[in-house]
Homo-oligomer: A and B are copies of this chain.
Amino acid sequence: AKGSIALVGAGPGDPELLTLKALRLLQAADVVLYDDLVAPEILDMGRREATKIPVGKRGYRPSCKQDDIIDLMIKLAAEGKRVVRLKGGDPMIFGRASEELAALHAAGIATSVTPGVTAALGAAASLQLSLTERVRARRLQFITAHAHDGRLPEDIDWRALADPCASSVIYMGARTLNSLVERLAAHGADPSTPALLVERATCPDERVIRGTLASLPAKAAALSPSGPCLILIGAVFAGGVEAEQIREAADIAIA
């Protein structure tokens, strides 16, 4: 049998946000390579006989670097294994998929990509706040606030990020939130722009910190989030119903 690699999005956190296709591929896999952020419940949906290997930065190996992951994928495919590379969220958004696909294509390995619900969509659904809106949010933009060295990237068009008519979602945004807010202010962003931090979007222990560009850094520091965080910035993120109300209403709506 010929080996293959399927890059598969695991969705934002809630195991029920896995797609039917991701489930089918998981149930057909010989080997599952999975990131830190993938819930154990999702791994449990995979084929029982599959070998499951953590390849995240907090995986059991002393160093699981991108090159090592690529080498492992090529080795497994050469052995004829059907491999699922399970990534948090969607593989094509801040997932370093282009490096993996380029190496796999160069090695002549059959690949496929299955999209997943990216964290921004999960957070918006939890909050019941649309990411786009006529007039107030015609443009939606995503950046990651975490460069190679762990600091805020330098090469971002900050003016575009500070646009009051756009919604912005910042992935991996908790650690560099202070620098981000400083940058946006320096590029003309209104300090009263609504800004939220969402930790572990769509998970049972999801937390939301509501504020403005001016107030969010102090509020976030006080609550010291430890899970993966998104920062949502823009006029559309004002108001909305409170988290508790949403949860109660969602319980009725889902029941």
Q: Are A139 and B157 in contact (CB under 8 A)?
A: yes
- Structural contact, A14 and B23, CB atoms closer than 8 A: no
Report yes or no: B92 in contact with A4, Cβ–Cβ below 8 A.
no
- Whether B140 contacts A156 by the Cβ 8 Å rule is no
User: What per-residue 1/0 map shows which CB atoms of A112-156 lie under 8 Å from chain B?
Assistant: 111111100110111011111111001111111000100001011
Residue A159 at the chain B interface, CB threshold 8 Å: yes
Known contacts A112-B250, A125-B91, A166-B157; A132 and B144 CB within 8 A of each other: yes
Asked whether A253 lies within 8 Å of B5 as measured between CB atoms, the reply is: yes
Report B-chain residues with C-beta under 8 Å of the C-beta of A17: 19-21, 114-115
Task: State whether the Cβ of A97 lies closer than 8 Å to any Cβ in chain B.
Answer: yes
The number of times this chain is found in the oligomer is: 2
Task: Provide the A181-224 mask, 1 if CB < 8 A to any CB of B, else 0.
Answer: 00000000000000000000010000000000000000000000
Q: A113-B125, A141-B141, A241-B105 are in contact. Are A20 and B21 (CB under 8 A)?
A: no
Q: Is the CB of B254 within 8 A of A112?
A: yes
- Judge whether A16 is part of the interface by a CB distance below 8 angstroms: yes
Other-chain contact of A155, B25, B121, B124, B165 (Cβ < 8 Å): B165
**A55 CB within 8 Å of chain B:** no
Report the minimal beta-carbon distance from A191 to chain B, rounded to whole angstroms.
20
Verify if A73 is at the interface (C-beta below 8 Å from B).
no
Question: In this assembly, does A46 line the interface, its C-beta being within 8 Å of a C-beta of chain B?
Answer: no
Q: How far is the CA of A160 from the CA of B142 in the complex (A)?
A: 13
Contact partner, A18, options B19, B95, B122, B133, Cβ 8 Å: B19
**Nearest 4 Cβ contacts at the A-B interface:** A160-B160, A112-B253, A4-B253, A16-B21
Q: A-side interface residues toward B, CB under 8 Å?
A: 2, 4-6, 9, 11-12, 14-21, 23-25, 82, 90-98, 101, 105, 110-118, 121-122, 124-126, 128-135, 138-144, 148, 153, 155-157, 159-161, 163, 165-166, 202, 236, 241, 248-250, 252-254
User: Mind listing 18 A-B residue pairs with CB under 8 Å?
Assistant: A5-B253, A9-B117, A12-B115, A14-B21, A17-B20, A18-B20, A25-B254, A90-B121, A93-B121, A95-B132, A97-B130, A98-B129, A110-B248, A117-B117, A118-B118, A132-B142, A141-B141, A159-B159
